[in-house]
Structures are given as structure tokens and as C-alpha cells.
Amino acid sequence: MTPVELSRTVLRAVRRAVDVGELSVSVPVSVGVSPPGPGGCGDYATNVALRLAGPAGLPALDVAEILRPHIGDEPGVAEVTVTGPGFLNITLGGGAAAALVDEVLTRGERYGYGDSLAGQVVELRVPYDTRAEVVADTLVRIVATQGGRAEVRHGEPVNLRPVPAPEDPAPLGADAARWALLYPASHDRPRISADHLLQRESNPLFRVRYAHARCRALRRNAGALGFGEVRGDGDPAGRLDDTARQGADLLSVLAEYPHTLRLAAAHRAPDRLARHLVGVADSLLLFQHLVLPLGDEKPSAAHRARLALAEAAGTVLAGGLSLLGISAPEYL
């Protein structure tokens, strides 16, 4: 991980802390990372906690302790230590990328599930409206990923009232209709248009489903080349560090997926999940060209590692689409 990549990693951690309400600050445009000074440790250090202490109205040490676990959850980070008045010292890890891919492949479509709503009953009171019904139906599944149980009721007082669709989305078909209602934020007016059926890059639903189909095609093509099995074959995911740079963006969005599910459940916002799937798809479509051998290349451990990462992306896409109630085709 380069200093520039680590700086972006720290910014993502700050953004997550703000999103979940642990910090009330404006996310800075950039943060600096540098080799630790006297009294420091690890590979790099950052003073971001000292910078944010004043705006947050908290001691720098408290800010550092808030940010420490968020930075530590990032792929490529092995350990985060707080020293001095609030410096965050970061030790980079050698196997974080492989561990992330292994976790996704091991947990399958249950990757990202947690217990942030364990034991809670979330009552969703909705009007008799098509969009409200679809959003509530989706939230039942999303809330369940965090250990909660959502109960849908009709009538007043309503606590879930997304802007209704301007017309009946049913002519779009089940998948496109659900996407049209779920992709916009609840306060935005959904667009009911045949554009949702177009097989082109401008259609986010197409990109997500196409990316999933490409993952499955990569596995089939790799099988034809003799290396389609990414599990139990010399631990190919363990060699991801050799190719982590090419897949850094994809690893990042996969690592963010559990956080996205938590926010979607906490804020009753399935649109967060839909938009995150678009990010996974876009990163995968940029990465896919590196997976298979080119020309006279022979399949290597690096190709198996890349295939494992692509498989992980396909798993997240399939699981996310399932939560939205949308099919994930093997062929498209």
C-alpha cells in the first residue's frame, strides 16, 4: 500500500465514523501520512485525530480511539496503535487482502451479516403504496442481516413513506421495477422508464447484473484453462498480495460491504446497498481483464489469486441483488 492509498484508507475510516454518528465533523479533503517520529511505531503515522479534535469537540486521544478500529478494519492494515497526544500509528499487513477474500468465499452470500440490530424489532409502518411496499419488503431482509426483525404494518402513523412512483412500474418486469423503486433515495422521485431495460453502460442495473455474469464467465473460462477451482488448490487467495495493487479498488469496495449493510439497515435505506453494488460492479469490470492468462501465458498462482478476488466480487453482487429481491443471472 502506497502512502497515497493509505491516505485514502484513513479518509474512508473518518467517513465511516461520521456516517455512524461517532464523530460530528466535516470529512477533510486529504490527510497526511508519514513515517512515525520519535516515540511512534509501525510503518506510517497520521495526525488526523489531532486535526479533528477541535471541530469534534473531543480530546484528540478520544478521536484517535474512535478512528482506530475503523482504520484497522481496512484491507492491508495489520495493526493501529495510538501514541503521544493522539497520533495513529499504522502497521501494514501482508495477508489482509487474502484474508478478506477468504472471508467472502467462506461466508458466501452471508458475508457482511452482523449483529448490530440483534434482538431488536423494527416496526415499519407504511402507506398503501407500491414503492413503500417494495422498500419495506426489502428492508425486512436487510434488517435480518444485522440480527433484527422487521415487522411491516399499514396505517397511521406512518414512519416509512418514500416518494411514490409517478406511474406503475410493473411493465418494466420484476427486476427492473424493483431497481427503479429501490435505487433512488427515499426522498427522490423514482424514474419509471424503459432505460432500466437497456443493456448498455449507462444503465446501473445492467452493469451490476453484467458484472455478476462476467464473474461466472471468468470461472467457466478459467475451468476450461484448467484452473477454475479457487479453493483447496494451494490456497490461491493467499497469493493475492502479489496482485493486490491491481485489485486495490475492488478489495476496498468489498471491505466496505458489511459497513454498507449496517447503514442500510440502521437508516432504512436500501438505496445505499443498490449504489454500493454499482461500485462493486464498476471496480470488477475494470479488474476483470487481469484475471485470465493472455496469449501464451500459462495459468499461475497470480491468476488463481485474481480469480479468487473476482469470485468474491461475484459472491457480493449475488448476495446484494438477492437482498434487493433482484435476480443475478449466470449469463447475460
β partners of residue 89: 45, 81
**pLDDT at residue 247 is higher than 60:** yes
**pLDDT at residue 231 is higher than 70:** no
Q: Answer positive or negative: Cα dihedral of 173, 319, 211, 12.
A: positive
Question: Rounded to two decimals, what is the model's pTM?
Answer: 0.78
In the structure, what pLDDT confidence band is assigned to residue 78 with cuts at 50, 70 and 90? confident
Q: Tell me: the pLDDT tens digits for 36-53?
A: 888 888 878 999 999 999
β partners of residue 149: 121
Q: Tell me: the pLDDT tens digits for 255-278?
A: 889 889 999 999 999 999 999 999
According to DSSP, residue 5 is labeled H
3-class SS of residue 149: strand
Q: What is the pLDDT of residue 44?
A: 84
Q: What is the pLDDT of residue 11?
A: 92
Question: d(Cα 140, Cα 320) in Å, to the nearest integer?
Answer: 14
Question: d(Cα 273, Cα 321) in Å, to the nearest integer?
Answer: 9
Q: How far is CA 256 from CA 152, 167, 250, in A?
A: 28, 34, 10
Question: d(Cα 60, Cα 312) in Å, to the nearest integer?
Answer: 37
3 CB-side CA count, 13 A: 11
Look up residue 239 and give its three cell numbers: 497469493
**pLDDT at residue 162 is higher than 90:** yes
Q: What is the pLDDT of residue 234?
A: 45
Residue 264 has phi, psi (to 5 degrees) of -60, -40
Sheet containing strand 44-46, edge to edge, reads 44-46, 87-92, 77-83
Q: Answer positive or negative: Cα dihedral of 55, 60, 62, 63.
A: positive
Concatenated DSSP letters of 98-125: HHHHHHHHHHGGGTT---TTTT-EEEEE
**pLDDT at residue 311 is higher than 70:** yes
Q: What is the pLDDT of residue 245?
A: 56
Q: How many CB atoms lie within 10 A of CB 314?
A: 24
Q: Tell me: the pLDDT tens digits for 272-307?
A: 999 999 999 999 999 999 999 988 888 888 888 899
Asked whether 281 and 201 are in contact (CB, 8 A), the reply is no
Give start and end residues of each alpha helix (H) in 146-290: 174-182, 204-224, 248-266, 270-287
**pLDDT at residue 95 is higher than 80:** no
Q: What is the pLDDT of residue 116?
A: 87
